[in-house]
Amino acid sequence: MRKKLLIILGVVVVLSTVLYLLRTPLLRSCATALIHEDKPEKCEAMFVLSGGAYDRGNAAAKLFQQGLAPTVICTGGNPFAELKTLGVDTLESDLTMANLRRLQVPDSALQQIKYGSSTREEADTILGYCRAHRLQRILIVTSRLHTGRVNKVFRNRFSQAGITVLLCGALSSRFDELNWWKNEDGLIAVNNEWLKRLYYWWKY
């Protein structure tokens, strides 16, 4: 019995040591598994998904300035509740629009779709817009950790409609995605995204 306990203890020690030595690549893989990005190329229009107006707006402005799309369309109908404390009633897509204007994207290049409270709803809304305007190649800007789920929600349905979707992940200004466990915001973001992945897998 004592010999078996020593063997078990030895195995536990070895496994614990291996996991400790490999902790960085293992933790990093929890984030990289969520990421799916494409090489940015010129498209007919760029859509910025709601949520993360600062980071996503910053990324969209850079892509616009590189001439990758003539139009930037901000989507989303979720209200930004925190601003109600200041008496301001606004949507997340309003904040994205404001950030793009701050970054010198001209009003003539900006559009807004005030609808969509989830990735699924935004996908349906954008697909309808693309069909109505006969767009065949679009660029989607979202948070980097969100790109994998966006890919799963968007890719097949847009492909079936003959529309090419390219995904661009906006880097977070609050944490490093590849070292997410070192920051509370990173811990929350990765945890939330994996829970949403599970929810989308279960529901859809």
Residue-wise pLDDT for 51-60, tens only, equals 899 999 999 9
Asked if residue 171 lies in contact with residue 124, where contact means CB atoms within 8 angstroms, the answer is no
Contacts with 166 (C-beta within 8 Å, 6 or more apart), sequence order? 38, 39, 40, 41, 43, 137, 138, 139, 140
- Find where tokens 């900006």 sit: 110
**In the prediction, which pLDDT does 87 show?**
77
- Find where tokens 């980097």 sit: 144
**In the prediction, which pLDDT does 88 show?**
77
Q: What would the pLDDT profile of 175-196 be if each residue is shown by its tens digit?
A: 999 999 999 999 999 999 999 9
Instruction: Provide the percentage of residues in the chain whose pLDDT is more than 90.
Output: 76
The most confident of the ranges 72-81, 83-92, 102-111 is 102-111
- Find where tokens 């001439």 sit: 67
Q: For helices 147-160 and 119-133, give the axis angle rounded to 10 degrees.
A: 40
How many Å apart are CA 75 and CA 89, to the nearest integer? 17
Instruction: Provide the percentage of residues in the chain whose pLDDT is more than 70.
Output: 89
Of 173, 167, 169, nearest to 185 by C-alpha is 173
> Tokens at residue 86, please?
């200041």
**In the prediction, which pLDDT does 83 show?**
74
Is residue 1 scored above 70 in pLDDT? no
| Low-confidence winner among 5-14, 28-37, 77-86, 133-142 (lowest mean pLDDT) | 5-14
Exposed / middle / buried, residue 195 (Cβ in 10 Å: 0-12, 13-18, 19+): exposed
**In the prediction, which pLDDT does 6 show?**
61
Would you place residue 85 in the very low, low, confident or very high pLDDT band (cuts 50, 70, 90)? confident
> Tokens at residue 16, please?
């614990």
At 135, the amino acid letter reads L
**In the prediction, which pLDDT does 58 show?**
98
- Work out the angle at residue 174's Cα, subtended by the Cα atoms of residues 188 and 26, and round it to the nearest 5 degrees: 55
Q: Work out the average pLDDT over 120-135.
A: 96
Task: Output the CA–CA distances (angstroms, integers) from residue 39 to 43, 63, 90, 143, 167, in the order listed.
Answer: 12, 11, 33, 15, 8
Asked if residue 148 lies in contact with residue 33, where contact means CB atoms within 8 angstroms, the answer is yes
pTM: 0.89
**In the prediction, which pLDDT does 103 show?**
97
